[in-house]
Structure 1
Amino acid sequence: MTLAVRYISARTLDTAPAEPSSPGPGEVELAPAFVGICGTDLHIFHGDMDARVAAPAVLGHEMSGRVVRVGPGVEGWQPGDAVTVMPLRWDDTCPACRAGHQHICQRLDFIGIDSPGAMQQRWTVPASTLIRLPDTLPLDRAALVEPTAVAVHDVGRAKVTEGEKVVVVGGGPVGILIALVARAAGADVRVVELSAHRRLLAEELGLTAWDPADDDVP
């Protein structure tokens, strides 16, 4: 018997037993090690997404963990492999998918929102969603792969190049990740953030943070 954390209603969670089933064809059972809490998860917790999320719901789409069991027909994975999950599952049949735009599938399953997520001791997902993690990457940091991928995508879309000046408005988790990725691309980065706490965190990561209310900001 394993446990799962479930969203019940606005600002209400519980912990319930969950009996893991054997992974089916094309599926893999994981043991999540670390799970991030996304801003979307907070919206769900506050009850703002009840029209979409059917309670009780197991949340969590930012995670790292290890393979426990593999289902029939699954190749290339074995127990102990360190992984994260790309939490999108599309149908490959709708007009968007057929046009090559699977990320806006008309029946997109955002795993951890539309279907059970990683806030459980055992989690079964399609093997096709697994991303292998390098052995040198600690699992606590690996739980940030999904939001970091968002930052990498944003910086790539902006075509940031070495020596460019980049201003990131907002020093929340994704804003900080964007700033770090832009810096890694060689940009001269400034973070604009009202919160003194968030500015301090940015500075502790070696970023330059501006208070927009400060008249001395250039």
Structure 2
Amino acid sequence: MTGKALPPEAPPDCPLCPRLVAFREANEAAHPEWFNGAVPSFAPEGGEEFVRLLIIGLAPGLQGANKTGRPFTGDYAGDLLYATLIESGLASGPYERRPDDALTLRGVMVTNAVRCVPPQNKPTAQEANTCRGYLQARMAALPNLRALLCLGKISHDSTLRALGARVASHPFGHEASYDLQGPNGPLTLVSSYHCSRYNTNTGVLTEAMFDSAVRRAKSAAGL
């Protein structure tokens, strides 16, 4: 990470990871109408003080959040995530794959462990380390945060490190749950396989499995 504390949200033109900056600029040249920046977190109505559950993905998708500027918006992972949040009562309104739809979140914020789109959806360990300061600041800025839902192993591991917890003592698994100490009090971390098309197409994750993980995190958050 950098030597100084980072804010909860990265500037759209964040300069910290040279490879991600180059990839972002190449996409901007090819698609100037896209967002092409560090994607900000998606907050619920009322703002930070209403957040009890933080959902942490891996990184923006190239034609999803990198294009639209809102986490999990515009690709299959978002289709499954937001449909599940609506079904579980954590979101309402229509999800229309665009940031100006009428979708609203209830008690939930959605963010990513790495804020800029990586080539082939694979950030390096150094990029995850560098971006972790934003994740730490994001959690610290949520005074009523009670639970985390980590989507995929990279998110799971990076979140543990952001909290100062040993990864080896908290192995990743679908619906694995751990009680941890957060910056503003106790937290329950729940993990899920990532809601990617690859995972659902290969049967690693079913809609029922994902719904169960979301509901477990919702319960842990007291929502």
Q: Give the number of the structure with larger relative contact order, counting CA–CA contacts within 8 Å between residues 6 or more apart.
A: 2
Task: Find the structure with the greater CA-based Rg.
Answer: 1
Bigger fraction of residues in strand: 1
Same fold (TM over 0.5): no
Bigger fraction of residues in helix: 2
